[in-house]
A and B are shown apart, each in its own frame.
Chain A
């Protein structure tokens, strides 16, 4: 009898310990990782035309302003506080890649244009206890809503000598959350533009 009670108490103790460990495991381990800062949300994606021969692209003409469109795709005429900084940074990187600036677009090999837009992302919903994402659904789950402002800068390099409509030779998209200080945003824009060029080494083929 004594043995059985010892056995049961050992099991009970172990089970309880393991349950607590299991609980800790559930709470802290499903999706571990520290919170991200606004800068951590920055993404730089670049795409290029696989048929393009960048070694023949030596001069560029750049539009000295950033174009904007609203959410319906209509042009918006406004100047952003970081527009000139972005244009200057793009020029610096193009020059470093071996391009030279050509004021006359009719003579340049490529034309570089820059777009920006700002959008408010709102999202929400709730996770069920099991697999699916239900929305809206107010059963066995907890609803959550969040919004944030994001900014996107698109740099497109077009073939100035193209005789027919064709895709851009190179496109860089820079995206991130705008909830940051002005110094923070300024630094992030420079870093992202630099990154776009450093991950596109083929641009310097004509160097």
Chain B
């Protein structure tokens, strides 16, 4: 299992670089701001059919540019890990399969977004927004000594609503909810599916 983890180092490197970018020079100008959030995700639809378990492992990085007082455009990069171990019996077309199975989804949303903010700068600002892009979706199903894996890009959208609460001059708190919906995708067994999950995110904001 350790070996599988190694392929994530490249993903981690990208993550770390983005994080460093947030923490240093690029966010010097007031019109930029970044956010780092912790995510809790609730699978729905086809994702819930595969993994019926809340994900407590998730992080997100936001990088937004305020194009005027009310609007921002930006990029979002996240990582959500879903896992369920179950020994339930799965019915098939002409039979059934029973065994301890591990089901995993590592979802990496990469999206461009636009947000509209209510209220004034430096005050508590509720906002609504839309993320559009897709997900690097790593899906894995293990049962007995067998495993199926499907790694693919899935196009998707994620409407979002939240609030930015300023704490200090250049630091604040962000709380938001998102509905992630993949418009395309296949399951580990090759059937057409649409992965989806609800998310609650809370984290820090620089330059709110």
Contact = CB atoms under 8 A, between A and B. Distances in A.
B79 interface: yes
Contacts of B183: none
Contact of A144 (B3, B8, B98, B171): B3
A94 B135 CA distance: 49
B5 A33 contact: no
Given A19-B16, A29-B57, A11 B206 contact: yes
A7 B170 contact: yes
B9 A22 contact: no
Contacts of A69: none
Contact of B97 (A41, A44, A50): A44
B144 A27 contact: no
Category for how many chain A residues contact B? 35 or more
Interface string B96-124: 11111010101000000000000000000
A43 B143 contact: yes
A14 B6 contact: no
A22 B13 CA distance: 10
B204 interface: yes
Given A15-B23, A141-B6, A22 B15 contact: yes
Given A23-B12, A126-B3, A36 B23 contact: no
Interface residues of B, number: 48
Given A15-B20, A26-B8, A32 B96 contact: no
Interface string B16-32: 10011011100100000
B98 A195 contact: yes
Contacts of A26: 5, 8-9, 11-12, 15
A48 B97 CA distance: 12
B59 interface: yes
B204 A14 contact: yes
Contacts of B106: 30
A151 to B, nearest CB: 11
B83 A25 contact: no
Contact of B151 (A44, A131, A144, A148): A131
A77 interface: no
Contact of A44 (B11, B99, B140, B146): B99
A133 B59 CA distance: 27
Interface string A24-62: 011101111100100011111111111000000000000
Interface of B: 1, 3-12, 15-16, 19-20, 22-24, 27, 36, 57, 59, 79, 81, 83, 85, 89, 92, 94-100, 102, 104, 106, 140, 143-146, 151, 170-171, 204, 206
Interface of A: 7, 10-12, 14-15, 18-19, 21-23, 25-27, 29-33, 36, 40-50, 121, 126-131, 141-142, 144, 148, 150, 175-177, 195, 199-200
A-B pairs, top 7 by smallest CB distance, nearest first, are A15-B23, A43-B99, A43-B144, A47-B95, A40-B100, A199-B96, A29-B57
